[in-house]
Amino acid sequence: MKISNEAKVGLLAIAAILVLVLGFNFLKGRNLFNREPTYYAVFKNIGSLEKSNQVKINGLPIGTVYNFIPSDKEVNSIIVAFRLNRDVVIPSNSVAFIDGAIVGSSFINIEKGTSNSYLNEGDTISTRLEAGLMADLKTQLSPTITRVNETLDSFKLILGSMSAIFDPATNSNIQTLIARLAISSAHLEQLLNAQTGALAQTLSNMNAVSANLAKNNDAINSTIRNVEVTTANLANARIQETVAALEGTITELKGTAAGLRTSIEHINNPNGTLGALVNDRKLYDQMNKVALGLEILLDDVRLHPKRYVNISVFGSKSSPQPLTSPAIKDTIPVGGQ
């Protein structure tokens, strides 16, 4: 049976849609092939909680946030659906609340109860209205804000009772001071607002930066390792080149020292020619005398060659007296001598 082109296109489109759905759910932390039990929690405000954020019990991740459902059109509360990806049971008197850190994303934290009965799939867990870092910070600073407001009220009473004492200028200054204190208190309360405060926005930005760093952690570690390897290679290469050059220089110095030591030994040896010449003054003087005599003889042969080579048919003439000292070097022999 031959399949038409339209049927092939339809099958390909269905396959693409299935792959898209499966991939999207996989990225969201959902497993369509493994049914996970679903539970619900109702919160007045979910803050920065998002889908796929973790659900923890005693610090252990046991599931992920699946969906958000408004309880009514006025959104008086929000139903949070979460699924468990671990085979655990939750005591029925456990309490869930939204928690988070300065660096990191928000998550649902479950305080484990002590009941022997457990929640069934589809049950709704009890929740706490406020918890987490921002709530703790607001709880700790609320008494301070209350005391500031009480102090402002006391200032107003004191100002009212002492208005007759102070002059108009002083009264105006005090009122300005109180107004500024009231503005500062309002700014502080706005700063600590869990949803619109600057502190909450800063924490949210820090969470985003932390998430980006976590995503690029492998790349950062790889870059650091590459830099360490490159630095080590450069250091080893320079050390090896320096050691090789130093070894060559040491070898040359050893050879030079050995030759110098041999020469010194020959000079100091009285049995050798050079040693005898250096150490025996008498031999040195005799060698000087021999050299002087040889020089005189050579000069005499140069100046009076007929004395040593005399060939004559009619007899010889008298020869000049032999030299007793070296002749002047530029002396020119004269014929007939």
Q: What is the pLDDT of residues 166-208, one digit of tens each?
A: 567 777 777 788 888 888 887 777 776 655 666 667 777 787 7
Domain-ending residue, one of 129, 149, 165: 129
* pLDDT category of residue 337 using cuts at 50, 70 and 90: very low
Spatial distance between the Cα atoms of 108 and 49, rounded to a whole number of angstroms: 8
- Tally the domains of the chain: 4
Domain-ending residue, one of 195, 215, 235: 215
Residue type, 136: D
Give tens-digit pLDDT for 231-250.
Answer: 787 777 667 777 788 888 88
Nearest Cα to Cα of residue 178 among 148, 204, 208: 148
Spatial distance between the Cα atoms of 43 and 128, rounded to a whole number of angstroms: 8
User: What is the structure's pLDDT at 144?
Assistant: 78
Residue 254 inside a domain? The answer is no
Spatial distance between the Cα atoms of 95 and 124, rounded to a whole number of angstroms: 10
* pLDDT category of residue 335 using cuts at 50, 70 and 90: very low
Residue 330: give the domain boundaries. 280-307+321-337
pLDDT value at 134 more than 60: no
Residue 198 inside a domain? The answer is yes
* pLDDT category of residue 54 using cuts at 50, 70 and 90: very high
Q: Is residue 122 located within the same domain as residue 143?
A: no
pLDDT value at 65 more than 90: yes
* pLDDT category of residue 80 using cuts at 50, 70 and 90: very high
Domain-ending residue, one of 89, 112, 129: 129
Residue 250 inside a domain? The answer is no
Q: Is residue 67 located within the same domain as residue 110?
A: yes
Spatial distance between the Cα atoms of 26 and 85, rounded to a whole number of angstroms: 13
Residue 297 inside a domain? The answer is yes
User: What is the structure's pLDDT at 149?
Assistant: 80
Residue 86 inside a domain? The answer is yes
* Residue whose token pair is 């609320």: 142
Q: Is residue 42 located within the same domain as residue 60?
A: yes
Q: Is residue 40 located within the same domain as residue 116?
A: yes
Residue 237 inside a domain? The answer is no
Q: Is residue 143 located within the same domain as residue 109?
A: no
Q: Is residue 156 located within the same domain as residue 202?
A: yes
Residue 139 inside a domain? The answer is yes
Q: Is residue 40 located within the same domain as residue 28?
A: no
User: What is the structure's pLDDT at 20?
Assistant: 85
Pairing status of strand 95-99 against strand 124-127: parallel
Q: Is residue 111 located within the same domain as residue 144?
A: no
In this prediction, residues 86-106 reach a mean pLDDT of 87
Q: Is residue 43 located within the same domain as residue 122?
A: yes
Is residue 326 a contact partner of residue 289, using CB atoms and an 8 Å limit? no
Q: Is residue 206 located within the same domain as residue 140?
A: yes
* Residue whose token pair is 């040195």: 284
Q: Is residue 58 located within the same domain as residue 125?
A: yes
User: What is the structure's pLDDT at 6?
Assistant: 80
Q: What is the DSSP letter of 45?
A: -
Give tens-digit pLDDT for 10-42.
Answer: 888 898 898 887 777 666 655 555 578 999 999
Residue 215 or residue 272, greater confidence: 215
Is residue 192 a contact partner of residue 139, using CB atoms and an 8 Å limit? no
Is residue 78 a contact partner of residue 85, using CB atoms and an 8 Å limit? no
Q: Taking the model in full, what pTM does it have? A: 0.36
Q: Is residue 104 located within the same domain as residue 165?
A: no
Residue 151 inside a domain? The answer is yes
